[in-house]
Amino acid sequence: METDASFRLSTGISGLDEILDGGFIPRRAYLVRGGPGIGKTTMGLHFLTSSASQGEQVLLITLGEPEAQIRQDAQSMGFDLKDVNFLDLSPSSEFFTAVETYDIFSPAEVEREPITKMIVDQVEIVKPQRVFFDAVTQFRYLTADVFQFRKQVLSFLRFLIEQGATVLLSSESSTFLPDDDLQFICDGVINLVLEAGRQTISITKFRGSGFRRGPHTMKLGSRGIDVYPKLIPEKYVSAFTSEIVSSGVPEIDEMLHGGLERGTSTLISGPSGVGKTTLGLQFMKEAASRGERSVVYSFEEEMLATMVYRCESINIPVRSMIEHGSLSLVSIEPLRFSPDEFSSMVRREVEDRKASMIMIDSISGYTMSMSGEDLTSHLHALEKYLVSRKVTLLLVDEVKNITGEFRISESGISFLVDNIIFLRYLEINGELHKAIGVLKKRVSDFGKRLREFEITGDGLKVGNPMTGLRSLLSGRPELGDLTKKEGG
């Protein structure tokens, strides 16, 4: 039966639909495979209930778990199975107590025919648009011959598809019981894997369509399955349009030749306590005055309360911004969220709540969420996505050295960003000063001189360019007192 590959059926899991370029192609057969407890049956429930809720006929055929147990487990996760038709072919307790034996024929020969008839009868009665078969590997025990098993499954799938059904099969794959033949037979293959405490989902086959390669993060929880697609840099491309984003501090804007360009990425670098986060929030304060929304993702949960208190004391009204919806402070526990899950969180803020500025504070915390994955590739993909949405990205990166050798980044990401603003401590005549400078601006020129940087009760104060000194970047300038001179 021919079908339009451009028309898609939702899998019932939005993240999986995105990976599959919209969902399953109708009237085809798909295989979900993985070890025990990985979520295969739960995926089948998503697949069926998303269709049943639209008034379509669906059928769950189970050869393993009994219907009562599936319904009980589904109810605990919030699935409504009242409109799901069941064909329960799981062994009953009578099978054991009766101790049935076959002297002439093998069990497969005796049991295959009545099972096949029950399936055919139920399908013809229900006429389902979707069928979930859990688990098809149980079919192997109805025939000892590999060729006969493959032929039997092919015939079974053809029968269901000719009846107008889209089919999802689950497979209990293992090293000792491979399912390569089922992968060849089906039109699509979904792999569920649990490794080193992280659960992932990937597609290795999808006939008639492209798909987003993985692995992608998957979470099996009390409300079913959530899938967090991996961001792909090539997917997000847009033409650059020059629009200036002001900091609200004239001297900083002067250093940046007007400000930052919208839709660019900026690294704010410096040692602990120098004012990196405060500088980022200053840009967000100015964005709020334009009616725009910003989001700060803090990977140091205990810092949020301190951040609010500090900003309120220096004329950055964080509480008011939060109350008016122009700012969101989001605490991220780095060991709880995977990079894919964090990217999905950012996307929801951008696409659903129209955030125009994002700050990640800090890169070291973000690195902890990588769990051994490559920071550069994930950050590159996230940056490309935000740039394509004309979102301004601020990245806070803490360097270890207070003074001495000048380092711009501890994480080696400076080549990824469009702009670099650095803050530096200076020791002058026994006093500690701060300086601000611009090291890189990809789309325009910028001021090359450092300026003194202060955080006061009235807000950020930036002095005139610092002249008459050398070795400023070492943190210990030479040639006497701090000298200031007008000019750029």
HSE-up of 390 (CA within 13 Å, CB side)? 11
pLDDT band at 141; cut points 50, 70, 90? low
**Record: fold of 244-484:** Rossmann fold (3.40.50)
pTM of the model: 0.83
Contact 35, 173 (CB under 8 A): yes
Please report the pLDDT score of residue 94 as a whole number: 59
**Per-residue pLDDT tens for 167-223?**
999 998 777 778 888 999 999 999 999 987 889 999 999 999 999 998 999 999 989
Name which residue leads in pLDDT, 98 or 268. Answer: 268
**Per-residue pLDDT tens for 361-395?**
989 888 887 777 888 889 999 999 998 899 999 99
Which residues are registered as beta bridge partners of 470?
478
Answer yes or no: is pLDDT of 79 > 90.
yes
Most confident by average pLDDT, 138-147, 209-218, 409-418, 466-475: 209-218
Please report the pLDDT score of residue 238 as a whole number: 65
Please report the pLDDT score of residue 100 as a whole number: 52
Closest CA to 460 of 269, 360, 316, 319: 316
Answer yes or no: is pLDDT of 1 > 80.
no
Contact 275, 453 (CB under 8 A): yes
Answer yes or no: is pLDDT of 91 > 70.
yes
Same fold: 14-229 with 244-484: yes
Answer yes or no: is pLDDT of 488 > 50.
no
Mean pLDDT of the chain: 87
Please report which helix (H) or strand (E) contains residue 461, including its range: strand 459-467
pLDDT band at 306; cut points 50, 70, 90? confident
Contact 31, 40 (CB under 8 A): no
Please report the pLDDT score of residue 168 as a whole number: 97
pLDDT band at 479; cut points 50, 70, 90? low
Please report the pLDDT score of residue 158 as a whole number: 94
pLDDT band at 289; cut points 50, 70, 90? very high
pLDDT band at 486; cut points 50, 70, 90? very low
Which residues are registered as beta bridge partners of 253?
none
- 146-162 vs 107-126: helix crossing angle, rounded to 10: 10
Least confident range of 65-69, 97-101, 366-370:
97-101
Torsion angles phi and psi, residue 6, rounded to 5: -80, -20
**Per-residue pLDDT tens for 336-358?**
888 899 999 999 999 999 999 99
Angle at 381 between CA 7 and CA 256, to 5 degrees: 130
Which residues are registered as beta bridge partners of 198?
195
pLDDT band at 153; cut points 50, 70, 90? confident
* Mean pLDDT for the stretch of residues 154-175: 90
* Distance between CA atoms of residues 312 and 252, nearest Å: 21
Helix (H, G, I), strand (E, B) or coil at 29: strand
Please report the pLDDT score of residue 98 as a whole number: 52
* Mean pLDDT for the stretch of residues 395-412: 82
Please report the pLDDT score of residue 487 as a whole number: 45
Closest CA to 144 of 100, 112, 186, 185: 112
Answer yes or no: is pLDDT of 105 > 60.
no
Q: Name the residue ranges covered by the structural domains of the chain.
A: 14-229, 244-484
- Alpha-helical runs (H) found in 292-362: 303-312, 318-323, 339-353
Name which residue leads in pLDDT, 400 or 345. Answer: 345
**Per-residue pLDDT tens for 8-45?**
999 999 999 999 999 999 999 999 999 889 999 999 99
Q: In Å, how far are 30, 303, 334, 362, 365 from 331, measured between CA atoms? A: 39, 9, 9, 11, 11
Q: Which CATH number fits domain 14-229: 3.40.50.1820, 3.40.50.300, 1.10.3720.10, 3.40.630.40?
A: 3.40.50.300
